[in-house]
Amino acid sequence: MAARFFVPDLVPQPGAQVSLPPAAAHHALRVLRLRVGEPVVVFDGRGGEWRGVLAAVGRDAAWVRLEAFDPVSRELPFAVTVGQALLPAERMDWAIQKAVELGAARIVPLLTARTQTGGALERGARKQAHWQQVALAAAQQCGRTLVPEVELPRRWREWVEEARGARFWLLAPGGVSLSRLSAPERSVTVLVGPEGGWSEEELDEAERIGVERIGLGPRILRSETAAAAALAMMQVLWGER
């Protein structure tokens, strides 16, 4: 399988020569030890991908010559936004990585009643940049041609209020089984609670404003597992329609 790299601002024409970003060039030359003439795939996150070859290398640089565009799409037939309650650093990274691998179109870090914020609102921009890199690396690895956006942290209640009319599924024990629902027409947002779960007040409020309560089975899942489990089930139930 050809190595795959994200390259923003591609010149979309056969024969064009594009430079790999520094981190990608380092990975190609120092980790994968690619040589001139080897096949590679590049994408810019706007859909489709280019097949090409490694055309030239320098000490810490590499250039790819584009050969043919493939309009392939590996997206779900509907857009899934994951509203993920904030988790400690490595667990949040894992949750974002797996959500991207399983098809999430957008990820919104959420502050809830039982979220340990750790100054997330104050350090939001810096954290967002890190999470976006996690999403980019996951998209590059798993073959997606679109890179999901990771937004700034939001308070869940304010965010849901702003999106009135959208379809929301809140994951919580005792909810309606996902397998009993119909496939989303165009989009759906899945809300995942924090380590301590949703508070009773939050569950009552979600019901009051029309958020559907969804269950994934009799077992209680960790917060970072829940979104991945939901996305995997959605892929099985409706991913090929």
Q: Is the pLDDT of residue 140 over 80?
A: yes
pLDDT at 239: 84
> Mind listing the pLDDT tens digit for each residue in 188-236?
999 999 988 999 999 999 998 889 999 998 888 999 999 999 999 999 9
**Fold type of domain 79-238:** Alpha/beta knot (3.40.1280)
Q: Range(s) for CATH 3.40.1280.10 in the chain?
A: 79-238
Q: What is the pTM of this model?
A: 0.91
Can you tell me the distance from the alpha carbon of 55 to that of 38, in angstroms, rounded to the nearest whole number? 8
Q: Range(s) for CATH 2.40.240.20 in the chain?
A: 3-70
Q: Where are the alpha helices (DSSP H) in 31-147?
A: 89-101, 124-142
Which of the following CATH numbers is that of domain 3-70: 3.40.630.30, 2.40.30.130, 2.40.240.20, 3.40.50.970?
Answer: 2.40.240.20
Q: Residue 12 to residues 45, 50, 147: CA-CA distances in angstroms?
A: 13, 9, 18
Q: By the 8 A CB rule, do 110 and 236 touch?
A: no
For every residue of 85-117, DSSP letters joined together read: E---HHHHHHHHHHHHHTT-SEEEEEE-TT---
